[in-house]
Structure 1
Amino acid sequence: MAWVVRGEFRKLWVGQLVSASGSAITTVALPLVAVLTLHASPVEMGVMAALTVAPHLVFGLPAGVWVDRWSLRRVLVVTDVGRAVLLGSIPAAAAVGALGMWQLYVVAVLAGVFTLLSETASMTLMPALVPRDELIRANSAHLLNLNVASTAGPSVAGLLVQVVTAPFAILFDAASYVVSAVASYLIREPRREVAERSEVRLTDGLRTIFGSPVLAPLAVSATVGAIAGSLQGPLIVLYLVRELQWAPALVGVAITVFGAAAIVGSLIAPGWIRLVGIGRGYITGQFIASLTGAALAVGFAPVVLLGQALAGLGMSLFAVPQRTLRQSLVPSSSLAQVTATWRTLVIGGQSLGALTSGLLATTLGLRPTLLLSTAAMLIGTLVAVLSPLRKVAVLEWVGDLAAR
């Protein structure tokens, strides 16, 4: 990725890489703080998980308006510093014996708000730092950060928790945000067009998305895919252990296969998109990922592992063109709102799917639920296939469409 990670984008990329690595540690360490240090009940764990997602649903639409009004670099710096302080408060409170679940709840909510603002700002800033013809590769590089961090992070987190205990493992994430804040501060942010405050409405992101013949089906396809994918997400470990009676080591292999395939997908995505076109790149990625539920339902170990590989590979192949299409089709003055609105739709879809999965698994059984998730994801793919999205080959074509 050296050929893309250059100039001002390098600073953004380095900051995101460091903070993503720290966040991957906290993803494991924070629940362990609740379980091992505070002896949280299942209800308390559920509340904390819900509070982590809640900011994206409650503040998703206003976040786009807020970010549109502020300097993007300033948003990145402030949110990094804010998360460093929030996460640093956990080991500090633990050291003096004052840590409680209420503090974890506050951290979960506020860190979720800062993450929403930071992700919206970084996705909005990227097209200003990268020429249009390098957006695909830049998004691939950004996704590589997330995939490497999420694959290696849990193992590192487990080791840190064992060595320094869960609260103090979170210090590494707090430190990562300090590094990210410095990298963000060094970015020279280009001037961008900003709409007049009186012209901005909360629904502008929705209007932009569903007023576009490409973004509208892409949003529907992505949201349906998010709901379908999250139907199986909470059930995978349960299915592998209880239904297939896999040993924990083999479960770990399956999770690692997913992460490794996601890394490979982020590396090959630019070449694949050049070969088949950006619209079909999204469609093929969505289709490949949709086969995961069916592969899991087969239950034969090699097929299950193949399904995990398809999930990771497909996720990267559809994520890169999805992000690039938004960045290239939406004017810079509206991109923050569209990005925040998109996160509200997709994360809201994931929340709905996760909440529904347990009910469906109890009513229908684990295997039928996995097959249902595949069918639903294929419907999301079909939405994209039947739309103008499949004809989008290059970003110049998208630009022509935006001008109409």
Structure 2
Amino acid sequence: MDRTSYRGVIVSADLLAAAALAAVPILAATGLLQMWQLYVVVVITGTCGLFAAIASQSFMPRLVPQRALLAANSTFALSSSVVATSGNAIGGALVQLLTAPIAIAVDAVMLVVSALSKARITVTGRSAGTEPPKDSMLKGIRVGLRVALFGHPALRATTIAATVGALGGQMQAVIVVLFLVRELDLSAGLVGATIAVAGVAGIVGAAIGVQITGRLGNGPTFILGMTLSSLAGLVMATAGGPVVLVLLVLVIAQLLRGWGPTLYGINQQTIRQVLVPSALLARTQATWRFLVFGMQPIGAILGGTLGAVVGLRGTLIISSLVMLTGTGFALLSPLRTLRQLPRAET
């Protein structure tokens, strides 16, 4: 993305994903659809989503002034939370009403509409000035790692805290539903309602994140969000007894799980956008995503293994302690006193 424009990336990603999805109903209608083709579609759309996410996050500082970055990131998080909460329900309804291939065709049309909307952006957003960088891609990767891990102390703290938090968070994510069903014996309806609470809390957190950050500062709000996320599993692990008490504990846990990621997410994003020079932002964003999301499959394996060895309740506790370790690193870093970000570098 250092070698092209951000606008070109986000438009192309939508169009390529739309083309891949459009192939599914066509293949289904002709009777040629096979499982391996669906895997290919998932890989293509997932790759497009990755590029679009990094480009969008790097594009933001070129579209809004620095003073509006936090609000812009909060709005972005709010829309993502709304989509995450409602998208699955709408998709399920479309599958029931129109069949799965038609529902996928609708998704492809929506991506085309998205691409047309993004194509109207007047700023191209070339990430490194008017000319693409002449250094090798391998050197660019090394630079991204250096900036993310050895650059500004606040950048280093958010990267390490988020990476450790992602490890613990995924350890927990893979066993939550099992815990609700096997340990607490909840019905499918109550499981769905419990999970929905976190989605609604995420929407609320995105809506009030700017106000909370205005009172506490960027660094302390990041730490607060990490702390809330870390405590969610510990609270959930205490659930037991009468159904009413169980549901109360679960609601509290899910509120923490919804509020936390929103509060630390919008602030870590803003911290990177302000502290990283614009020419290095895309590669730094990609490095952060590689480190944080790279922890998720490792965390999933560890969570499943621990669930089998120490039990689901014990895994909730251990994974929360792992997340608290990342939070502790942030608490001992300069983030604790980072209340106002300096002016952006160029």
Pick the TM interval, shorter chain: over 0.9
Superposed, 1:26-41 pairs within 5 Å as: none
Residue 22 of structure 1 corresponds to which residue in structure 2? none
Residues 298 and 304 in structure 1, CA contact (< 8 A), matched pair in contact too: no
Residue 358 of structure 1 corresponds to which residue in structure 2? 304
Residues 4 and 127 in structure 2, CA contact (< 8 A), matched pair in contact too: no
Residue 176 of structure 1 corresponds to which residue in structure 2? 110
Residue 204 of structure 1 corresponds to which residue in structure 2? 143
Residue 53 of structure 1 corresponds to which residue in structure 2? none
Q: Distance in 1 between matches of 2:304 and 2:136?
A: 43
Q: Distance in 2 between matches of 1:196 and 1:87?
A: 33
Q: Distance in 2 between matches of 1:350 and 1:80?
A: 25
1:289 matched to 2:226: no
Q: Distance in 1 between matches of 2:47 and 2:199?
A: 26
Report the number of matched residues: 334
Residue 232 of structure 1 corresponds to which residue in structure 2? 172
Q: Distance in 1 between matches of 2:210 and 2:80?
A: 17
Residues 245/192 of structure 1: CA separation in 2 closer, same or farther (3 Å cut) = closer
Residue 393 of structure 1 corresponds to which residue in structure 2? 339
Q: TM-score, normalised by structure 1?
A: 0.80
- Cα drift, residue 220 of structure 1: 0.5
Residue 188 of structure 1 corresponds to which residue in structure 2? 122
1:125 matched to 2:92: no
- Cα drift, residue 152 of structure 1: 0.7
1:339 matched to 2:289: no
1:214 matched to 2:148: no
Q: 2:260 aligns with which of 305, 314, 330?
A: 314
Residue 243 of structure 2 corresponds to which residue in structure 1? none
Residue 75 of structure 2 corresponds to which residue in structure 1? 141
Deviations along 1:367-392, whole A, 9 cap, x unmatched?
A: 00000111111111000000111111
SS in 1 for 2:19: helix
Q: Distance in 2 between matches of 1:267 and 1:294?
A: 26
Superposed, 1:374-393 pairs within 5 Å as: 374-393=320-339
Please provide the CA RMSD for this pair: 1.4
Residues 2 and 128 in structure 2, CA contact (< 8 A), matched pair in contact too: no
Residues 128 and 280 in structure 2, CA contact (< 8 A), matched pair in contact too: no
Residues 199/92 of structure 1: CA separation in 2 closer, same or farther (3 Å cut) = closer
Q: 1:110 aligns with which of 23, 44, 53?
A: 44
- Structure 2 unmatched runs, 5+: 240-245
Residue 100 of structure 1 corresponds to which residue in structure 2? 34
Q: TM-score, normalised by structure 2?
A: 0.93
Q: Distance in 1 between matches of 2:149 and 2:275?
A: 12
- Runs of 4+ in structure 1 off by over 6 angstroms are none
Residues 336/178 of structure 1: CA separation in 2 closer, same or farther (3 Å cut) = same
SS in 1 for 2:161: helix
- Cα drift, residue 193 of structure 1: 3.2
- Cα drift, residue 198 of structure 1: 2.0
Superposed, 1:13-32 pairs within 5 Å as: none
Aligned amino acid, residue 205 of structure 1: G
1:252 matched to 2:192: yes
Residues 144 and 267 in structure 1, CA contact (< 8 A), matched pair in contact too: yes
- Structure 1 unmatched runs, 5+: 1-66
Aligned amino acid, residue 207 of structure 2: L
Q: Distance in 2 between matches of 1:287 and 1:362?
A: 27
SS in 2 for 1:196: coil
Residues 127 and 281 in structure 2, CA contact (< 8 A), matched pair in contact too: no
